[in-house]
């Protein structure tokens, strides 16, 4: 649950369409903004297909709501301004529900909740995920995210290095340019399973700061769009109850990502 920038302008302009079955009697359409650069939650594959937990959940919600949904990829640092400018109607992109963001947009209830964590190289002398252990070390984070905010608030003795995308901090830790990185525990754990993440290990999860980390990941809509927000809330409840959420969850994770 964080923030990022698309790697290619052409890709960020791409649109992906989902027809929600035959349930289009009222012709309602919803445009959903996502980043497409935050696996396993949302990612733009080489063939231009949007994949990931966020995307599958969004599709299930659209079917439940009986609406036609299109997906638009958008740089993370411009995703809230694009929503406000009506480029799309909702953001489903692992966006944490925080007080700061609530000043600009409205949120649904959460659809998942996972803690932040620290990753270090396998041969790192750092032995614990604490402020003291990271003092004097360089800590990488994606800028304009809850995780970079957490690092700046709770890892004050570390040198915080910010990146436009998660991919860039991963490259720097692989190449020894930072001592550690911070992000969502699921994002980091999935990366560690890949060939690119073979360099590193999970040092540990961090205590959640409710003010910074928020209430979990929610769907953002424009201020005052209560009708759409409530439709999403009812759909989230429905897919949790009918087993669709569990089906999608098990496709990506060996545990319930919804959280407590």
64-98: pLDDT as tens digits = 999 999 999 999 999 999 999 999 999 999 999 99
Query: What digits encode the pLDDT tens for the residues 45-61?
Result: 999 999 999 999 999 99
Residue 257 banded pLDDT, cuts 50, 70, 90: very high
CB-CB contact of 121 with 192 (8 Å): no
Q: Could you give the CA distance from residue 119 to residue 204 in angstroms, rounded to a whole number?
A: 7
Query: What digits encode the pLDDT tens for the residues 124-170?
Result: 999 999 999 999 999 999 999 999 999 999 999 999 999 999 999 99
Kindly calculate the radius of gyration of the chain based on its CA atoms and give it in whole angstroms.
18
Residue 62 in tokens: 């659209």
Please give the angle made by the CA atoms of 121, 150 and 125, to the nearest 5 degrees. 25
Residue 222 banded pLDDT, cuts 50, 70, 90: very high
Query: What digits encode the pLDDT tens for the residues 11-32?
Result: 333 444 443 333 334 559 999 9
Tell which wins on pLDDT, 155 or 7: 155
Tell which wins on pLDDT, 4 or 29: 29
pLDDT of residue 259: 87
pLDDT of residue 27: 59
pTM for this prediction: 0.79
Tell me which residue of 21, 31, 18 sits closest to 228, measured CA to CA: 31
Helix (H, G, I), strand (E, B) or coil at 109: strand
CB-CB contact of 114 with 205 (8 Å): no
Residue 260 banded pLDDT, cuts 50, 70, 90: confident
Query: What digits encode the pLDDT tens for the residues 158-212?
Result: 999 999 999 999 999 999 999 999 999 999 999 999 999 999 999 999 999 999 9
């Amino acid at each position: 649950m964080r923030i990022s920038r698309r790697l290619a302008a052409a890709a960020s302009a791409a649109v992906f369409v989902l027809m929600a079955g035959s349930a289009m009697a009222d012709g309602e359409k919803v445009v959903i903004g996502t980043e497409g650069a935050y696996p396993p939650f949302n990612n733009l594959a080489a063939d231009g297909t949007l994949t990931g937990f966020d995307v599958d959940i969004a599709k299930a919600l659209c079917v439940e709501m009986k609406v036609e949904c299109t997906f638009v990829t958008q740089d993370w640092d411009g995703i809230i301004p694009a929503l406000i400018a009506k480029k799309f109607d909702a953001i489903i992109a692992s966006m944490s529900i925080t007080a700061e963001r609530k000043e600009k947009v409205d949120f649904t209830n959460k659809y998942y909740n996972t803690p932040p964590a620290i990753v270090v190289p396998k041969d790192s002398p750092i032995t614990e995920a604490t402020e003291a252990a990271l003092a004097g070390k360089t800590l990488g984070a994606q800028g304009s995210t809850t995780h970079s905010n957490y690092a700046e608030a709770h890892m004050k003795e570390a040198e915080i290095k910010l990146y436009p995308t998660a991919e860039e901090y991963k490259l720097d830790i692989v190449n020894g340019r930072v001592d550690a990185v911070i992000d969502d525990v699921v994002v980091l754990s999935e990366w560690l399973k890949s060939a690119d993440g073979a360099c590193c290990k999970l040092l540990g999860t961090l205590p959640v700061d409710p003010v910074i980390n928020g209430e979990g990941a929610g769907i953002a809509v424009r201020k005052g769009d209560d009708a759409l927000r409530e439709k999403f809330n009812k759909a989230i409840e429905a897919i949790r109850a009918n087993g669709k959420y569990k089906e999608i969850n098990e496709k990506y994770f060996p545990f319930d990502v919804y959280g407590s």
